[in-house]
Chain A
Amino acid sequence: MRVIRTFGVAFRGLWSYPVRTWLAVLGMTISTLLVIFLLAVLFNFKNSLVGQIQNVGVQQIVVMPGKLLNSGKNISEVNLSSLLSYTSVTSTLTYQDAIDVKAQIPEVAGAAPQLETVTRITVPGKSAEVMYTGTMPDLANMYSLELEEGRFFTEEEAVQEEPVIVLGQAIKQLLYGDSSAIGSKVKIKGIDFEVVGVLKEKQLIGFTFNERAYTGYPLASNTTNLQNASMLFFEAQSPEGLETVRQEVARVIKKNHGGVQDFGLMAPEGALHVIDTIGDLVTAIALGITGVSFLVSGLGIMNVMLLTVKERTREIGIRKSVGAEWWDILLQFLLEAAYISVLGCVLGLAGSYGLLHLLHSFFPVLTTLFPLQWVAGCLLFCVALGLLFGIIPAVKALRIKPIDALRYE
C-alpha cells in the first residue's frame, strides 16, 4: 500500500518543475524516436524484401548468366563476400535449356525463360517505350501475377508464335487511360499484337512489372533477333529436396552448354540469407550509433534529477521529519527518474509508429509492422535506464539528514 502510494507521490513530484521535466522527457523522446524509427524502417524494409521473395515462392530457382571466378561453386552456395567475385558474361542461356529442364526433371513444375529489350509500342496516335519481354505462361504463376482484365497468353499461343500480348499497368494507362485495352491492336517491331490481358499494378523492390509488355518467348526472340535468354525461372513442385532439384537443373543446363558452367543458380533462400545478413549487419551498426543517444538522454535525466533533489531538499526534510524512511525517499526519486524515461519512451514509440505510417504513405511497398515485443522491450529498457540514471540522485536524497534538509535555504 505504502509502496503503491509512493508511485503517486513520485508522479506528483515530477511536476514540481514542469519545464525541466518536459525537456528531459523530450530528450528521451528523441532518443526513442531515433532508435525505434530507424529499427522499424530497417525491419520493415527487410520484411518487405523477404515478403516479396516469399510471395514469389521459396521453391523458385533462378538461373542467371555469369559465374564465380576461379570457383566451381554455385552462386547459391557462396557467402556474401564471395559474391564480389561473381561476374556476369554474355548470356548463353537458351529457350531450349528451359524446355529441357522442364521435360527432364519431374520435380520442376514450371519453366519460364525470359528475354527482354526496350522497344517502342504504338497505337494509333500514341506510343511509349516499353520493356518488351518474351516468356512463357508459367511466369504468371511463379510471380502470382494478377490480371486487371483479360487473360495471360497460353502455352499453345506462345509456341505457335501467336501475336498476342499482355500489358503492364503503366503501359496500359499510357496508351488507353481508363478505357479497356482488351481486343485492341498494338504495334511492336512492325507486328500487330492483339492485347489479351492487362496486369494489375505490381512491383517488387528493385523490379516492376508495370512497364512491361509480355508475349511468347519464340515470337519475341524472332522479332528482336535475340537468341539467348537474360534469365531462366523454374519452380519446383515443393520446397522439399530443393537442393537436389537445383543440382539437377544445373546438370541439365551444363550438359546443354557442353559441360561449361557459365551460369549461376540463385535460390530465394540464398537471397533471404543475403538479406538477413545485410539486414542484421546494418541494424546492428545503426543501433550501435543511435543507441548512444540513450546514454545522452540518461545523463540528461540524471542531471535533471540532481537539480530536483537539490531544489527539493526542504521537501525531503519535511517528508523525513514526518516519518518517511530512507527507502521511501529512494523509491520516490527513482520512480520520478523512471517516469521521465518511460514518458519519453511512450512518446517516442508513438512518434515512431506515426512516422512509419507516414513513410508508408509515400512508399507503399514498405510494410508497417510494429511488433508488440518492441513496445514491451523498449518500455522495459527505459524503466531500467531511468532507474539506473536515477540511482545517484536518489541516493543523494536519502543521505540528506532531516535537520540539514529543513535548514536548507
Chain B
Amino acid sequence: MIQLQNITKQVPDSNGNLDVLQNIDLSISSGEFLSIMGPSGSGKSTLLNILGLLDEPTSGQYLFEGTDVRKLSGRSLAQFRNSKIGFVFQSFMLIPRLSVRENIEVPMLYTTCGLKERKRRAEKALEQVGLIHKAKEPVINLSGGQKQKVAIARSIINEPDLLLADEPSGNLDVASKEDILRIFESLNRMGKTIVMVTHDPEVAQIAKRVLTLKNGEWSTTPAFAKTEVTG
C-alpha cells in the first residue's frame, strides 16, 4: 500500500539545517496495524505528517498505492487526503462551534456526496464509535475521550483505507484510552490500515508491528519484544 524510500526531512535551524528524518525506508501493507514509537523529537510525528500528505519530504520517494505522491498537484493531494486518508490527532482538532455530527461531516463537505448519503455515513460512523446519542451535542460539551471518538468518527466517514493517529490517547485517562484503542483494533479488524504514533509502549503493543525512531532514523534497539529493527 505504502512505500517510502530514502525519505529525508530537513528543517532550517540556527546551525543551518536539522535532519528530522534521515533515509527512512518503510513499507506498509494493506490491512496492517503499525505503531511508530520514539522519544520526543525523534521525528515520528513528522513521518506521520509526510505519510498523511500534510508535509513534504526534502528528498526520497513516496509511493501510495503505486502513485508517486510527490508528483501530485495540490488539488490531487487534497483529494487523496479526503478520500484515502483519515487523521486522528492528539489534541482532537475539532471545530469547537460545531456539533458532533457537523464535525464528523466536515470531510464530506469536500466530496460530491449528497445530504442523504452524508447523514447515512455520519450515523454509521457515530454508531461505530458509540456516540450516536450525542450527535447534536456541541463538541465543547464532550469529555476528552468522547472528543477523540468524534475525531475517529470523522476520520472514517469518507471510508479511507488508511488511518493515521498521532498520539491518539495522549490526552486521555486510562478508561478512555482503553476505549479508543479498542475502537482502533476494531477498525483494523474491519480492514483499515492503521499507522499510530505513540511514545507509550502499552498503547504501541496493540499494533501488529512496532517500529522505533530515534534521532530521525530507525532504531536498532527494540523498545520491547514486538519491535522490529527495520521498516
Contacts and interface: CB of A to CB of B under 8 A. Distances in A.
Interface of A: 1-2, 5-6, 9, 12, 15-16, 314-315, 317-326, 328, 402-403, 406
A15 B95 CA distance: 13
Q: Which 10 A-B pairs have the closest CB atoms?
A: A323-B82, A322-B107, A323-B110, A325-B78, A403-B54, A403-B55, A402-B54, A318-B93, A323-B81, A324-B110
B121 interface: no
B83 interface: yes
**Secondary structure of the A side of the interface?**
helix
B110 A2 contact: yes
Contact of B109 (A5, A314, A320): A5
B223 interface: no
A406 B49 CA distance: 11
Nearest to A328: B110
Instruction: Give the interface size bracket for B toward A.
Output: 20 to 34
B95 A315 contact: yes
A12 B97 contact: yes
Q: Which of B79, B110, B114 has the most CB of A within 10 A?
A: B110
A56 B87 CA distance: 78
Contact of A2 (B75, B83, B102, B109): B109
A332 to B, nearest CB: 10
Nearest to B166: A406
A318 B78 CA distance: 12
Given A1-B114, A5-B109, A406-B93, A322 B87 contact: yes
Given A12-B97, A403-B49, A321 B54 contact: yes
B111 interface: yes
Contacts of A318: 93-95, 106
A323 B83 contact: yes
A368 B84 CA distance: 61
B154 interface: yes
Contacts of B106: 318-319, 322
B52 interface: yes
Nearest to B102: A12
Contacts of A406: 54, 89, 93
Contacts of B154: 322
A325 B93 contact: no
A16 B81 contact: no
17 contacts: A2-B110, A315-B95, A318-B93, A318-B94, A318-B106, A319-B106, A320-B78, A321-B54, A321-B81, A321-B93, A323-B79, A323-B111, A323-B158, A324-B110, A325-B110, A326-B75, A328-B110
B26 interface: no
Nearest to B83: A323
B110 A326 contact: no
A328 B82 CA distance: 13
A9 B78 contact: no
Contacts of A323: 78-79, 81-83, 107, 110-111, 158
B55 to A, nearest CB: 5
Interface string B84-123: 0001010001110110001000110111101000000000
A324 B114 contact: no
Given A321-B87, A322-B81, 14 more contacts: A1-B112, A5-B109, A6-B109, A12-B97, A314-B93, A315-B95, A318-B94, A318-B95, A321-B93, A322-B82, A324-B110, A325-B74, A325-B78, A326-B78
Nearest to A312: B95
A276 B25 CA distance: 81
A322 B55 CA distance: 14
Nearest to B46: A403
Contacts of B97: 12, 15-16
Contacts of A314: 93
B79 to A, nearest CB: 7
Contacts of B82: 322-323
A402 B102 CA distance: 20
Contacts of B109: 2, 5-6, 9, 324, 328
A402 B52 CA distance: 11
Interface in B33-81: 49, 52, 54-55, 74-75, 78-79, 81
A355 B74 CA distance: 52
B157 to A, nearest CB: 9
Contacts of B98: 12
